[in-house]
Amino acid sequence: MSNARFFRSLPLSLAVIALSAASPAKAATFKTFDPPGSVGTYPYSINASGMISGTYETSDGKAHGFIRATDGTITTFDPEGSIITQPFAIDDNGRVTGELTPHNRSRSHAFIRELDGSFTVFDATSGAVYTRPVGFDADGNVAGSFTDHHTKSRGFIRSASGTITVFDYPHSLVTAAYSVNGSGVVTGLGLLKNFNKPDRGFIRAPDGSLTSFKVPDALSTEGLAINASGTIAGDYYGKDSVTHGLVRDPDGTLTSFDPQGSQETYPSAINASGTIVGTYQVGDNVVHGFLRKSDGSLERLDDPDGIATTPAGLNDKGVVTGYFKDANKLYHGFIRTN
């Protein structure tokens, strides 16, 4: 590896657990959208201007990429040879990165789509079975994870010039990179080879140094999204057999949270102000959306036309995108604005 790395554990304090009732979101407007021919629409990411990227399914069993412009225009795309195109992130320049699966389905590749519609397809290594990018930093570097025939999962950084750096959480069976911020700081999960020790969240700095974090007594902790200041939204699996939401401040303070009655809380995105969106489930086994503000208050975020709602992306203006399931069990994209 070209970057020196070191591992250290920070002394972490678990803040008072906030078990708040999730009240319905106030004064919010939802707009539904679908690409033409879609039988299932799944937006994943939204940029600063409100451009949205995601994937949609068609009746022939294929999945395609799309970009929804701020005026509502939808552009669909597939890299050459792809039958499953999954765009996971769109940056503020309109560049998209994601994963494609070719006809033989034996492996997957990463792609970058430029604003002019051209593609760069790459693998993290020559032996990679799948390569899954999760986002860009401000310099155009791409972070993600890959697996090969010898390892379950490793992290990678692809520079704007195409150089790839592979990284591993120390003593891990799985290194899963889930999010990168504009400064190039990556967060994710390190699943240890020693199953008697709890899995940990990690933070990888641009210089390659690694910091771990975990909730005391938790069986597993992971970072799922990171904002510009380094605040992380994640989750942890406790001894109570419940998955809880988690915020890690840049100083290492950990705060647990759940909408009232939640049995599974999964954050998906965090913006510059510290607002978090994600999903939770209660005893009805229905997926609900939530929005957590930086003051800890929680709102329920359910599309009024849906029987299940999954918020997936959030920008700094507070615009949320995601998908919902309707009464006919079809999935549609939505945009939520205040």
Q: What is the pLDDT of residues 137-158, one digit of tens each?
A: 999 999 999 999 888 899 999 9
| pLDDT of amino acid 22 | 55
DSSP conformation letters of 179-233 = EE-TT--EEEEEEESSTTS-BEEEEE-TTS-EEEE--TT-SEEEEEEE-TT--EE
List the helix and strand counts (H, then E) for the chain: 0, 31
Report yes or no on 2 lying in a domain: no
Residue 284 pLDDT greater than 90, yes or no = no
CA gap 56, 66 in Å, rounded: 7
- The residue-averaged pLDDT of 269-274 equals 98
Residue 301 pLDDT greater than 90, yes or no = yes
Q: Taking Cα atoms as reference points, which of 8, 17, 14, 19 lies closest to residue 215?
A: 14
* Whole-number percent of the chain with pLDDT over 70: 92
CATH number of the domain that residue 76 is part of: 2.130.10.10
| pLDDT of amino acid 141 | 98
CB 272 within 8 A of CB 229: yes
Report yes or no on 19 lying in a domain: yes
| pLDDT of amino acid 19 | 38
Residue 90 pLDDT greater than 60, yes or no = yes
Residue 172 pLDDT greater than 80, yes or no = yes
Domain range for 125: 7-337
- The residue-averaged pLDDT of 17-46 equals 80
Report yes or no on 143 lying in a domain: yes
pLDDT digits (tens, 9 = 90+) for 1-27: 233 222 222 222 333 333 344 555 557
pTM of the model: 0.91
Sheet with 7-9: list strands edge to edge.
Answer: 7-9, 210-213, 200-204, 186-192, 172-180
pLDDT digits (tens, 9 = 90+) for 182-219: 999 999 999 988 887 889 999 999 999 999 999 999 99
CA gap 247, 322 in Å, rounded: 21
Instruction: Categorize the per-residue pLDDT at 285 as very low, low, confident or very high, splitting at 50, 70 and 90.
Output: confident
- The count of structural domains within the chain is 1
Report yes or no on 133 lying in a domain: yes
Report yes or no on 1 lying in a domain: no
